[in-house]
Amino acid sequence: MATLQVDPIPRALYSLGLLIRELEIPLTNPIQTIKDLTQSALGNINAAASLADLEKVRVAVLGRKGELAGISKTFGAMAPEDRAKAGQLLNEAKATLEKSFEDRKASLEGSESDQRFKAEWIDLTVPPQGIAPGHIHPVTQVQDEIEQLFISMGFRVLDGPEVETDYYNFDALNIPSDHPARDMQDTFWMTDGHLLRTHTSPVQVRALQKYGAPMRMIAPGRVFRNEEVDASHEHTFYQVEGMMVDRDVSVSHLIYFMQTLLSSVFGRKVTVRLRPGYFPFVEPGFELDIQCLICGGNGCAVCKQSGWVELLPCGLVHPNVIANCGLDPQEWNGFAFGLGLTRLAMMRYAIDDIRLLQSGDLRFLNQF
């Protein structure tokens, strides 16, 4: 403010009202001061490099205690006609500066958002980094391998319904309703008389009825048992059914294919044993056991302390089954097997609790 500064002013003089007019007489003409100030303020506004700087300029010039306000205080010393002129000029200066301030503000805001846009710019065409790919479930991995192996040996891979009829799950497989073997598998029955298939064997019958003989097929899939769940039992698990029907199929064919299967899956020789086994749909029937790969035969929860795991029940297809499929058992015979796919995956990857497989727990799944 272009007023004469006299400091300190004796209080007494103020109170007497003396000299005050003289002291506030501006040293320069206020009209010129307004013009000068407007010019320099316009320069400062345009020079402001950021919104924060601009705000400082605005407060210094246009603020309540700013320079323009300061000038207006000096008007009291002016002649009335000069005062009116100066007042008008001051208002014009204010309007000019406010407009210029708003313009500069808009342009700074624009460039600041441009800068932010540049800083935050994302190239959407760059391939993402560090996204973890999914893992193939251990059961699916083993299933895929088995499918490839059997396809290479001329087998087809077939599918069958998980909700089955009594006929396909039992009767057609030589298990009539009064047969005690029905109790071998605890069944989930549906209210309409259907059931959740307890094994993949019904696909044998469906395949022969649909495509006839000769037939080489496998049918991997989900099966269900109404069982207490523990480390080695699940209500839902996976099997692979296999069947070959032709003329003159013998137990040696069966052994050949089972040996090929196991050495391929384990990639090494495993210890196996063959015992007689009873299944209504095969005759003769066998249990093919492998020595437990978890405990090496010493006994653990998975092998129920026996050192052996039942892995591959199998046999020669019962003539009644061949006949139920509309084929002549005098002409056609074959072998069949039902591989416990879930158990096989557990052996292969040394998984000691079957419940992990369906847990959906990523800490488990990420290991495969």
Buried b (16+ CB within 10 A) or exposed e, 94-110: beebeeebeebbeebee
Contacts by 267-276 with C-beta closer than 8 Å and gap 24+? 271/297, 273/308
**x/- binding map, residues 114-133, to ligand DAH, per CB under 6 A?**
--------------------
CA-CA-CA-CA dihedral for 184, 189, 195, 199, to nearest 10 = -20
Taking the complex as a whole, the smallest distance from the CB of residue 199 to ligand DAH amounts, in Å, to 3
Distance CA 325, CA 174 (A): 11
The residue (of 101 and 335) whose beta carbon lies closer to ligand DAH is 335
Distance CA 34, CA 94 (A): 10
The residue (of 2 and 251) whose beta carbon lies closer to ligand DAH is 251
Residue whose CB is nearest to ligand DAH in the complex, by number: 338
3-state secondary structure of 335: strand
314 counts as binding ligand DAH under rule CB under 6 A: yes
* Sequential DSSP letters for 46-103: HH--SHHHHHHHHHHHHSTTSHHHHHHHGGGGS-HHHHHHHHHHHHHHHHHHHHHHHH
Tokens for 125, please give them: 């065409």
Tokens for 20, please give them: 């005050």
197 counts as binding ligand DAH under rule CB under 6 A: no
Taking the complex as a whole, the smallest distance from the CB of residue 178 to ligand DAH amounts, in Å, to 19
According to CB under 6 A, which residues from 329 to 348 bind ligand DAH?
Answer: 336-338
The residue (of 51 and 184) whose beta carbon lies closer to ligand DAH is 184
**x/- binding map, residues 232-251, to ligand DAH, per CB under 6 A?**
---------x----------
Among 313, 342, 346, 347, binds ligand DAH (CB under 6 A): 313
DSSP 331: T
Among 293, 315, 325, 332, binds ligand DAH (CB under 6 A): 315
The residue (of 26 and 221) whose beta carbon lies closer to ligand DAH is 221
Among 58, 104, 199, 206, binds ligand DAH (CB under 6 A): 199
Binding site for ligand DAH (CB under 6 A): 199, 201, 241, 279, 282, 313-315, 336-338
